[in-house]
Structure 1
Amino acid sequence: MTTLADKLAPYATAFRRDGFVMVPDLLGADELDRYGAAVDDAVARRKRFDNRKLGDKTPYEQSFIQCINLWEDTPAVRPLTFHPVVCETAARLLGIDKLRLWHDQALYKEASGRLTDPHQDQPYWPMVETDTITAWIPFDGSSHTTGCMGYVPGSHAVGLRVFVNIFKPEDALEILKMPEIKDTPPVYVEVPRGGVAFHHGLTVHMAKPNLGSRTRRVHTMIFFRNGSTRKNNFPHDSVERYHIAIGAPIDSPVTPIAWPRAAGDLPEPPNAPISELFANAVKLGAFPDKAGRADR
């Protein structure tokens, strides 16, 4: 009998070499319809007080609408964030036996939304270890027109070299000038509906603008190896809420085990409040407005 691990073997080889891979047919059409509607509702609820036009937003916000930790306040999203096939695939690609969630997030690129600037993810996470991976799920698939992702092959092997302030687009192109990758063009990957794109936390990546007439609807999950430890005092809600000390394992209800889990076993949302450091992000809908919502 062929197992998922057997099927994923060639994809894992490509992931180790390139730092990204697209795995087709991980989600069915009915799942995409159901989960897409759930994330749509969650994003609409989080952003219900934001009536700004696209041109009135910051360049960062013009790249995408970002709603983090939807699994906490939207029960219908939880089975997607902890989808057993997607989570196992992430673990197999990384080659690890136990995976935790760092956070999930919707990244909705509006029609006419600008490009996403090149960057690595790892600098934004106060984590010593770099066994990290993002699952990128476009509910309608993605294309060059609608804002598919681009990756610099092999850039994950360069290590953590440049902190890109993605809030300042004028600084973002500096990462592409690293000597090790300056002559390596990005590879843009279209994702068919049902496919999931994965990239390493150290892979330099970006996305095209959305030239289509509809919002590019994407849900992502960021995972990390169980046992990873906090690196420094760089503020991040995934470690602040339960006061994870520098050098301590990142292990709390905010970052539950994602794989392996028993079938149908979904973690309960944390009860710890969002740190006051992120009060403004809560007001903007980027984070849940309160922990452990009663609507679950």
Structure 2
Amino acid sequence: MSNKQVEQYNNDGYVCPIRALTPEEAENFRNRMDALEASEPDLWSRSKIKPHLMMTWFNELIRHPKILDAVEDVLGPDILAWATGHFDKKPRDPGFVSWHQDATYWGLSEPSVVTAWVALTPSRHENGCMRVIPGTHTTGQLPHKDTVNQHNLLSRGQDVEVQVDEARAVDLELQPGEISLHHTMLIHGSEPNHSDTRRLGITIRYVAAHVRQTSGFKDSATLVRGIDRYGHFLTEPQPTQDFDPPVVAFYNDIVGEIRSRKEAIAAQAKSAGS
């Protein structure tokens, strides 16, 4: 990134847009995803958490050098890909993301974490692009409440418990192959897709190698650049094929641990509220 972009990230908590993939590369990743979806109808239910372990195209994407070049300007030279996600809004999709901070339930030791949002289709205001509230990454961790709405794309429907000035919101509009970066504490969300155009984005959560999991459960990550001098996370295997059996076994172990931890946290929150 340019010095101006790095300054913007530090001041506002985000940078957008950054050209990382060529349009042809973005189309290739999207086509490989679509082909796998066609052959695996339950693709995303099978690989909702850490899908980069299950699909070769996704594992290639987290290692893309142009994405890592931008992330390095924020996190430094030693980078782990810790978590990934898939946000696909079909035309007229009512799905939305409530205002929230990413780090709320992650249990990481510090906010040396950045999310790369990779556009595989155009992401515009009319089809529900991500929106951010600039500068809110400096407020620290804010309280959130869990909500229930079938159209909320967040697993817990978390909603920040502060008054959000939506007049300050900025749309992070992207073309295929462009990315945005945002800080783990930045308040952000998105609205439904009111258009006839699909909005498909991939999220990659990168952490500096010194960050660790504090929630008391087993966690894993993939070293994608530099050196891991700390070993805070289990080393993730790299799939040689989609749903590579040894990697699937590793995935099931790790995801089972994560789900158990989430259930425990949810039970604690319910008990505290009763």
The interval holding the TM-score normalised by the smaller chain is 0.7 to 0.9
Q: How does 1:1-296 map to 2 (within 5 A)?
A: 7-44=1-38, 47-48=41-42, 67-92=48-73, 94-114=74-94, 115-165=96-146, 167=148, 174-177=160-163, 182=165, 185-233=168-216, 240=217, 243=218, 254-260=220-226, 268-269=238-239, 270=247, 271-272=249-250, 273-274=252-253, 275-276=255-256
Q: State the Cα distance separating 1:85 from its structure 2 match.
A: 1.1
Mark the CA change 1:110 to 1:166 in structure 2 (over 3 Å): closer, same or farther: farther
Distance in 1, Cα, partners of 2:32 & 2:98: 28
1:26/1:195 contact within 8 Å kept: yes
Kindly state the Cα deviation for residue 48 of structure 1 after the two structures are TM-superposed: 3.3
- 1:211-249 Cα deviation digits (max 9, x unpaired): 12243111111111101122224xxxxxx4xx25xxxxx
Q: Distance in 1 between matches of 2:79 and 2:129?
A: 26
Return the alpha-carbon distance in structure 2 between the equivalents of residues 166 and 36 of structure 1. Answer: 31
Which amino acid in the other structure matches residue 32 of structure 1?
Answer: A
Instruction: Classify 1:16/1:47 alpha carbon distance in 2 versus 1 (closer, same or farther; 3 Å).
Output: farther
Secondary structure of 2:35's aligned partner: helix
Question: How big is each residue's C-alpha offset from its partner over 1:85-144, in whole Å with a ceiling of 9 and x where there is no partner?
Answer: 10221121x242211111122111122223211111101211111111111111122111
Distance 1:96 1:167 in 2: 38
- Structure ranking higher in helix proportion: 2
What are structure 1's unaligned runs of at least 5 residues? 1-6, 51-60, 234-239, 245-253, 281-296
Letter in 2 for 1:97: P
Q: Count how many residue pairs are aligned between Structure 1 and Structure 2.
A: 235
Offset at 1:172? 5.4
Moved more, 208-217 or 198-207: 208-217
Amino acid at match of 2:223: I
Q: CA deviation at 1:185?
A: 2.1
% same residue? 18
Aligned to 2:265: none
- From the two aligned structures, give the one with the greater strand fraction: 2
Query: Residue type of the partner of 2:87?
Result: L
Q: Structure 2: which amino acid aligns with 1:72?
A: L
SS of equivalent residue, structure 2 residue 66: helix
Kept in 2: contact 1:120–1:164 (CA 8 A): no
- Residue by residue over 1:239-295, the C-alpha shift from the partner in whole angstroms, topping out at 9 and shown as x without a partner, is x4xx25xxxxxxxxx30112248xxxx962455233435679xxxxxxxxxxxxxxx
- Would you say the 8 A contact 1:43–1:106 is kept in 2? no
Residues 188 and 232 (structure 1), Cα distance of their counterparts in 2 relative to 1, 3 Å cut? same
Residues 121-179 of structure 1: CA deviation (Å, up to 9, x unaligned)? 101211111111111111122111111111011110001112242655698555342xx
Following the alignment from structure 2 to structure 1, what is the Cα–Cα distance between the partners of residues 57 and 132?
Answer: 31
TM-score by length of 1: 0.69
Shift of 1:18: 0.4
Q: Deviations over 1:182-215 (max 9, x none)?
A: 5872111211233101111100001121012243
Q: Structure 1 residues 116 and 97, CA, compared in 2 at 3 Å: closer, same or farther?
A: same
Q: Distance in 2 between matches of 1:72 and 1:223?
A: 15
**Cα gap change, 1:132 to 1:120, in 2 (>3 Å):** same
Structure 2 letter corresponding to 1:257: L
Secondary structure, aligned partner of 2:195: coil
Structure 2: runs of 5 or more not aligned: 228-235, 240-246, 261-274
